[in-house]
Amino acid sequence: EQLANQIAAGEVVERPASVVKELVENSLDAGADRIRVEVERGGSSLIRVRDNGFGMDAEDAPRALAPHATSKLREAGDLGRIATLGFRGEALPSIASVSRLTLTTRRSAETEGVEVAPGGEGPRMEPAAHPPGTTVEVRDLFYNTPARRKFLRTEKTEFGHIAEVVRRAALGAMDTAFTLAHNDRVHFQLPAVEAWDDSERRVARLLGEQFARNAVHIVQDSGDGLRLSGWVILPTAARGQRDQQYFFVNRRPVRDRLLGHAVAEAYRDVLFQDRYPAYALFLEIDPEEVDVNVHPTKHEVRFSDGRRIHAFIRHALDEALGAVRPETAR
Binding piece for ligand ADP, criterion CB under 6 A, among 89-97, 238-246, 255-263, 266-274: 89-97
**CA dist list (Å): 103 to 48, 89, 220, 230:** 10, 15, 42, 35
Q: Shortest Cβ distance from residue 51 to Mg ion (Å)? A: 12
The interface region with ligand ADP, picked from 39-47, 88-96, 203-211, 285-293 by CB under 6 A, is 88-96
Least separation in angstroms between CB 250 and ligand ADP: 16
**DSSP state, residue 73:** -
Closest CA to 42 of 198, 167, 182: 182
| Region label for 298, one of left (φ > 0), alpha (ψ between -120 and 50) or beta (otherwise) | left
Kind of pairing between the strands at 227-233 and 215-221: antiparallel
Judged by CB under 6 A, the stretch of 74-82, 84-92, 225-233, 310-318 that binds ligand ADP is 84-92
List the one residue out of 78, 103, 144, 119 whose CA is nearest residue 287. Answer: 78
114 binds ligand ADP (CB under 6 A): no
Q: For ligand ADP, give the closer residue by CB, 76 or 195.
A: 76
By CB under 6 A, is residue 53 in contact with ligand ADP? yes
Give the contact letters, 10-39, x = binds to ligand ADP (CB under 6 A), - = no.
Answer: ------------x---xx--x---------
Nearer to ligand ADP (CB atom), residue 12 or residue 215: 12
SS3 sequence of 269-308? HHHCCCCCCCEEEEEECCHHHEECCCCCCCCCCEECCHHH
* Separation CA 263–CA 82 (nearest Å): 26
99 touching ligand ADP, by CB under 6 A: no
Q: Does position 86 bind Mg ion by CB under 5 A?
A: yes
Euclidean distance between CA atoms 97 and 10, whole angstroms = 10
Q: Which residues bind Mg ion (CB under 5 A)?
A: 26, 86, 91
Residue ranges that bind ligand ADP, judged by CB under 6 A: 22, 26-27, 30, 51, 53, 55-56, 64, 69-72, 86-92, 134
